[in-house]
Homo-oligomer: A and B are copies of this chain.
Amino acid sequence: MAGSGFGKNIRISTFGESHGTALGVVIDGFPSGMELNPEDIQKLLDRRKPGTSEATTQRKEDDLVEILSGVFEGKTTGTPIALLVRNTSQRSSDYSDIANYYRPGHADFCFDAKYGFRDYRGGGRSSGRETVGRVAAGALCKKLLSQMGIEVMAYTRSIGDVEIDYSSFDKDAITRTPTSMPDVKASGRAMELIRKCREEEDSIGGTIECRITGVPAGVGEPVFDKLDALLAQAVVSIGAVKAVEFGDGISVSRYKGSENNDNFIMSGDKVTKKTNHSGGIIGGISDGSDILLRAHIKPTPSIARTQQTINKSGENIDINIHGRHDPVVVPRAVVVVEAMCAIVLLDLMISNMSSRASYITDFYNK
Contact = CB atoms under 8 A, between A and B. Distances in A.
Interface string A331-366: 000000000000000001111111111111101110
B221 A3 contact: yes
Contacts of A33: 115-117, 356-358
A205 B260 contact: yes
B356 A116 contact: yes
A69 B250 contact: no
A66 B20 CA distance: 12
Contacts of A144: 357, 360-361
How many subunits of this chain does the assembly comprise? Answer: 4
A216 B218 CA distance: 28
A188 interface: no
A258 B221 contact: no
B205 A261 contact: no
Contacts of A359: 31, 353, 363
A35 to B, nearest CB: 9
A255 B363 CA distance: 38
Contact of A314 (B22, B225, B256, B269): B269
Given A14-B223, A244-B232, A253 B205 contact: yes
Interface in A89-132: 102, 104-107, 109-111, 113-119, 124-126, 130
Contacts of A220: 110, 114
A204 B298 CA distance: 30
A299 interface: yes
A188 to B, nearest CB: 19
B353 A363 contact: yes
A56 interface: no
A232 B224 contact: no
A228 interface: yes
Interface in A286-308: 286-288, 296-303, 305, 307-308
